Structure formats: structure tokens, C-alpha cells
């Protein structure tokens, strides 16, 4: 081995050692999602020329191949996790083909309900948190499409907020039992904040503001007291900034634009400094 080869190998070793643990699974899952997108485009292009047998063969063969890959590699490495996630995607693709072949209807909530029910056993058996996230996303799609279609006056956003709060609690319970950090639960925190802001638009913003503010403040205190990581604590601080900035902008007049900008800057800089001070010296075990 030459000197240049040794230097290059050392650089690669240091690069992989300094890469966060979540980068590998995320890249693998992104690749699986892109592969599924390409598969869907291929099926859509050749859909009219295929019979029912060929249409069902693609998701079932893909599901079987991924299941065999999971059995061979196991769920302890990134390859097994990516393949198990691909199994969940092929289950969804199967229901897409089923609905198109038998023309079961155009309601999205029926598709989401069938996918969520058939995906749940795989989620429980695999123990893959990315599959758990996929199942939660499908359930969110079911609630959103079901109640927004038939119950336009029903506050279904609160069902979405409550569901994602429960998912956050379960995710945190599992992460603490496994000794992992709290960055993965940010997906559910983001959903809670997003649906809370959507619910406040066009309704009594003052009441929704205080409810969302109190919830994010409670979750921020939880992240700080139990040392759930700078990512979770920083997100809660950013969420509080967004809520406070929205409240300030909605309360001040147009002539107070400079004051609004200054207040928003103070909020973001102050929360950033506070999070940095609280999380300094933190060791990431995820």
C-alpha cells in the first residue's frame, strides 16, 4: 500500500467515524423510497399492456424478495432495516394495485386504512422505528382524509394532534428503554406543531396559541429535565419562537414592523443561546 493510499484510507476511516449514526439508515431509506417511486412510474407506464396477474406480481415479488433479504441479513444492521422498510412500501403498493384492478373506489381513507391494518403486524414483528414512522404517517393520512371529507365542521385536527402526541410518548418510551436519544421523536413533534398551526388558522387563534404554547413548553421542559438531547430541546425552543413570533405579528400594527423584527430576532437568538448553554457538554448516545 502506497503512502497516498494509506492517507486516503485514513481519511475515509475518520469520515465514517465522525458521521452521525442516523445518516446511514436515512440514506438507505431514501434509496428505498426512490426505488419504489421508480417502480411506480414503471408500472404506470406499462399498466395498460399488463394483465391482472402481471400487475399483482410486481408488488408481491418485491415483497417476497425483501422478506427473504430480511431473513438472510437480520434486523440488526442497516441492510435489514432498509429491506424491512421496503416490505412496508410494497404492502402499500399492493393495495394501490388492488384498488386499480378491482376499482374499489377513489377514497384515499380506504387505501390508508387497509395499508395501516396490514402494516401493523410487520411493525410489531420487525421493531424497526422507521416502519413505525411509516405506519404513523399512514394513520395520519387516514384521519386527515376520512374526517376532512365527511366532517368538515368537526375539529379533526385535534384528533391528529392527540394521535401524534401519543406516538411521541410511545417513541420516547421505547427510546429510553433502548438508551437512545430523542432526535427520532422530532417527526411527531413537527406533526403536532404543524397541525396545531393549521387548526389555529381561521379559528380562535388566541385560544389555539395558548394551547399549543403550553404543550410545546411542557415538552421542552420534559426534554430538558430528562436530558433527551439538544435536537429535541432545540426544536421545542424553535416551536415556541414560531408561536410567539406569530402572536407578536398578529398583535402589532403594520407601523411596528421594526419592533416586530427586533422581537423576533431576540426570541430566536435568545432561545438558541439558551439551548446551547443547556446542551453544552452533552454526549450523544444514539
Q: In angstroms, rounded to a whole number, what is the distance separating the alpha carbons of residues 134 and 89? A: 9
Helical (H) or strand (E) element with 280: none
Q: In angstroms, rounded to a whole number, what is the distance separating the alpha carbons of residues 252 and 265? A: 15
Q: In angstroms, rounded to a whole number, what is the distance separating the alpha carbons of residues 94 and 115? A: 9
Closest CA to 235 of 249, 226, 247, 223: 223
Closest CA to 185 of 242, 129, 122, 131: 129
Task: Report residue 242 as a C-alpha cell.
Answer: 414560531
Distance from first CA to last CA of the chain, Å, rounded?
35
Task: Report residue 176 as a C-alpha cell.
Answer: 429510553
- Long-range residue pairs from 173-176, CB within 8 A, at least 24 positions apart, any chain: 174/129, 176/226
Crossing angle, helix 52-73 and helix 23-46, to 10 degrees? 160
198-210 burial string, b = 16+ CB within 10 Å, else e? ebbeeeebeebbe
pLDDT value of residue 285 = 41
Closest CA to 137 of 183, 97, 194: 194
How many Cα atoms occupy the beta-carbon half-sphere of 133 within 13 Å? 18
How many Cα atoms occupy the beta-carbon half-sphere of 62 within 13 Å? 23
63 within 8 A of 94, measured Cβ to Cβ: yes
Per-residue pLDDT tens listing for the chain (286 residues): 676 666 667 666 666 555 666 666 667 667 777 877 787 787 778 777 777 787 788 788 888 988 888 888 887 777 788 888 888 888 888 888 888 777 766 678 888 888 999 999 988 888 788 888 889 999 998 888 887 655 555 567 788 888 988 988 888 888 888 777 667 787 888 888 778 777 666 566 677 778 888 888 888 888 878 777 777 777 787 778 777 777 776 666 544 555 656 666 666 666 666 655 655 554 444 4
- The per-type count for the chain, helices as H runs and strands as E runs, is 11, 0
pLDDT value of residue 150 = 55
pLDDT value of residue 271 = 63
How would you write 37-73 as a 3-class SS string? HHHHHHHHHHHHHCCHHHHHHHHHHHHHHHHHHHHHH
Which residues have a Cβ under 8 Å from the Cβ of 259 and sit 6 or more positions away? 252
Amino acid at each position: 500500500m502506497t503512502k497516498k493510499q494509506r492517507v486516503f484510507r485514513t481519511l475515509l476511516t475518520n469520515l465514517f467515524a465522525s458521521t452521525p449514526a442516523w445518516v446511514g439508515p436515512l440514506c438507505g431509506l431514501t434509496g428505498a423510497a426512490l426505488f419504489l417511486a421508480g417502480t411506480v412510474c414503471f408500472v404506470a407506464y406499462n399498466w395498460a399492456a399488463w394483465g391482472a396477474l402481471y400487475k399483482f406480481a410486481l408488488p408481491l415479488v418485491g415483497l417476497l424478495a425483501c422478506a427473504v433479504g430480511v431473513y438472510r441479513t437480520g434486523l440488526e444492521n442497516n441492510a435489514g432495516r432498509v429491506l424491512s422498510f421496503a416490505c412496508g412500501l410494497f404492502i402499500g403498493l399492493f393495495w394501490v394495485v388492488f384498488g386499480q384492478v378491482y376499482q374499489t373506489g377513489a377514497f384515499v381513507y380506504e387505501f390508508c386504512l387497509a395499508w395501516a391494518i396490514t402494516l401493523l403486524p410487520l411493525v410489531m414483528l420487525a421493531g424497526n422505528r422507521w416502519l413505525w414512522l411509516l405506519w404513523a404517517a399512514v394513520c395520519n393520512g387516514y384521519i386527515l382524509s376520512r374526517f376532512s371529507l365527511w366532517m368538515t365542521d368537526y375539529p379533526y385536527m385535534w384528533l391528529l394532534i392527540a394521535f401524534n402526541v401519543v406516538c411521541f410518548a410511545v417513541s420516547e418510551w421505547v427510546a429510553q428503554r433502548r438508551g437512545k436519544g430523542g432526535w427520532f421523536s422530532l417527526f411527531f413533534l413537527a406533526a403536532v406543531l404543524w397541525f396545531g398551526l393549521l387548526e389555529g388558522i381561521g379559528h380562535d387563534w388566541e385560544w389555539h396559541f395558548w394551547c399549543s404554547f403550553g404543550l410545546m413548553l411542557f415538552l421542552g421542559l420534559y426534554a430538558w429535565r430528562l436530558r433527551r438531547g439538544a435536537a429535541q430541546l432545540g426544536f421545542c425552543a424553535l416551536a415556541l419562537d414560531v408561536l410567539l413570533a406569530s402572536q407578536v405579528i398578529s398583535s402589532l400594527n403594520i407601523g411596528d414592523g421594526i419592533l416586530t423584527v427586533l422581537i423576533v430576532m431576540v426570541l430566536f437568538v435568545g432561545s438558541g443561546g439558551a439551548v446551547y448553554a443547556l446542551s453544552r457538554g452533552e454526549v450523544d448516545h444514539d
